[in-house]
Amino acid sequence: MKPFESLTSPVLLLRENRIDTDIIYPARFLLIMQREGLGQYFCADRRVDPEGNAIANPIDEAKERGAGILIAGREFGCGSSREQAVWTIKDFGITCVIAESFGEIFQANCLRNGVLPIVFDPATLEELAAFGKDGELSVDLVARTITAGEKVIDFEISDNARERLLKGWDETGMIQSRWGTAISTFEEGQRAAQPWLYEPLAI
């Protein structure tokens, strides 16, 4: 996974609450089995009409400006667990999403894909959105700050999430190397206490 350290970029503003995973990545595209090249389907139903004609919209407009940061509203990414919702955003070019809150699985999926999710209160979010309308924002994960012109705002992110993004490590490999023995020890204890979980699956 590509590490995330910092980003200076124009902003895509989608200032609505509950932009859910069905809006971000409509279910019919879940039949596609690649994870690359999904950016064209990002919020597809807001960019292309049912006949396949392009609709004027802020998303493609922001794409032309090279937006790498998305500012949304409350509960962004609520709904399904589809990781395509993150793959589509990333392939579209966005690696930082700022919102008042996130769908929890979406937020977890961001961390698995080098996409930085940042949570702010509504007032700060509005301030950033107002600046991001025309200006670029600078996100610094090392310092945990966002710079909007002269103003530098601290953001919160757990040490664990920050480290995962900064190192861009392979989570599975990391768990295997760091905790492989601990997992085996746990399973020995669980087998003794709950042997029924270690019976062969009669399927």
Partner 1 sequence: MTTASAPRTLYRKLWDSHVIEVVPGAQGEGEESRAALIHVDRHLLHECSTHQSFEALRSNGRSVHRRETHLAVPDHAVSTALDRLSIAQDDGAAGAQVARLASNVAEFDIPYVPLDDARQGIVHVMGPELGFTLPGITLACGDSHTSTHGAFGALAFGIGASDCETVLATNAIVQSRAKTVKVELSGTLGAHVTSKDVALALIGRYGAGFATGCAVEFTGEAVRAMSMAARMTLCNMAIEAGARIGLVAPDETTIDYLRGRPLAPQGEMFEQAAAYWRTLASDPGAEYDRTVALDLDALAPQITWGTNPQDAAPVDGTVPAAPEDAEAARQHAKALAYMGIEAGMPVTDIAVDVVFIGSCTNGRIEDLRAAAAVARGRKVAEGVRALVVPGSMAVRAQAEAEGLDTIFTEAGFDWRMAGCSMCVAMNEDRLAEGERSASTSNRNFEGRQGRGGRTHLMSPAMAAAAAVTGHIADVRTLEEIVA
Which of 53/160 has CB closer to partner 1? 160
Cβ 62 to partner 1 shortest distance, Å: 21
Contact 36, 91 (CB under 8 A): yes
CA distances from 179 to 62, 69, 115, 173, 198 (A): 43, 34, 25, 10, 20
Cβ 117 to partner 1 shortest distance, Å: 12
Cβ 65 to partner 1 shortest distance, Å: 25
Which of 31/56 has CB closer to partner 1? 31
Cβ 136 to partner 1 shortest distance, Å: 26
Cβ 86 to partner 1 shortest distance, Å: 7
Which of 54/201 has CB closer to partner 1? 201
Token pair recorded at residue 103: 């769908």
List residues near partner 1 by CB under 8 A. 16-18, 20, 22-23, 26-28, 30-33, 35, 45, 50, 74-75, 78-83, 86, 101, 103-105, 108-109, 112-113, 156-160, 163, 170-173, 175-176, 179-180, 182-183, 186-187, 190, 193-197, 199-203
Contact 178, 171 (CB under 8 A): no
CA distances from 70 to 55, 65, 91, 122 (A): 20, 13, 13, 15
Nearest to 152 by CA among 162, 164, 143, 142: 143
For residues 102 and 92, what is the distance between their CA atoms, to the nearest angstrom?
A: 19
Which of 56/201 has CB closer to partner 1? 201
